[in-house]
Amino acid sequence: MSKIYDLIIIGAGPAGLSAGLYGARARLSTLIIEKDKTGGQIATTDEVANYPGSIENATGPSLVARMVEQCEEFGAERTKDTVIDFDFENKVKIIKCEKQEYRAKSVIIATGATPKKLGCPGEKELTGKGVSYCATCDGAFFEDMEVFVVGGGDSAVEEAMFLTKFASKVTIVHRRDALRAAKSIQEKAMANPKIEFKWDTVIEEVKGDGIVESVVFKNVKTGELEQHDADEEFGTFGIFVFTGYDPQTKVFQGKLNTSKQGYIIGDELMKTNFEGVFVAGDCREKLLRQVVTATADGAIAAVMAEKYVEENEF
């Protein structure tokens, strides 16, 4: 029989690593399963300026490395594997992965979410170097510069208004001729003198040597291409993409309660519809998806997992 862990955490982003730290520190035998890169989205972030107490010039990888070190100091185990199925019906939870099967008394799902991409040339290479998916994280880096916001829903328009606090001009780029955002949000954006609109337009290519230097727009109705170059004073500008997120919850959908968008529903104590199964981080249905909220979720979920293990007989 395989070992029965007190706690298994699925996902090694900030939420999962925070849960691992709290779980292991509480002397729970803890295993963190990660299918891909440790750290989640933050692992690709060059600078972290909005995480409380982050040191000067802190990067995503450096913050993740410290989180991993803390987990391991308290005895959390880590493994690389991919969840393909599970059974949460009984007291001992079974997690079936590609390499092997794992068992635990409690489980925290912290699989995260990934921003939907434009899918154009240059986007991947210049992510974190002018291309961003988080206005709160990166808006301040574009003080007095021009920025473009891609999208037409509530999030895109709200983030565009937020970016006017920093940018000299914000242009909303939308593939349709009308926004999908709520009318009240649209009215505020249209009344903001810093916001302009580029209708029926998509980004065809992002160009630059190390940083964003130009962007090629395409009019979806006429097919016309237009290149926009950075202002000589700054040599760069921002491209913020807000076309939605894809929660990494496919394997759990149909059994765990999820929103229409696929986010796992958990209460303020991170409890799901299965006893002893908790959710944390960006894969959870919630308002704000940031490193600070992910780590808070992870801490709460681990504390609740500890209580659950203590209060139940296995």
Q: How far apart are CA 190 and CA 74, in angstroms?
A: 52
Catalytic pick among 97, 134, 282, 283? 134
Q: How far apart are CA 212 and CA 280, in angstroms?
A: 33
The structure tokens listed for 245 are 């997120």
The structure tokens listed for 165 are 């606090």
Closest CA to 48 of 35, 66, 36: 66
Is there a catalytic annotation at residue 138?
yes
Question: What does the DSSP 8-state code read for residue 123?
Answer: T
CB within 8 A of 49, min separation 6: which ones?
58, 137, 140
Q: How far apart are CA 43 and CA 234, in angstroms?
A: 27
Residue listed under structure tokens 């997992």: 305
Catalytic pick among 97, 137, 282, 283? 137
Is there a catalytic annotation at residue 120?
no
3-state secondary structure of 60: helix
Phi and psi torsions of 101, nearest 5°? -105, 140
Catalytic residue numbers, as ranges:
134, 137-138
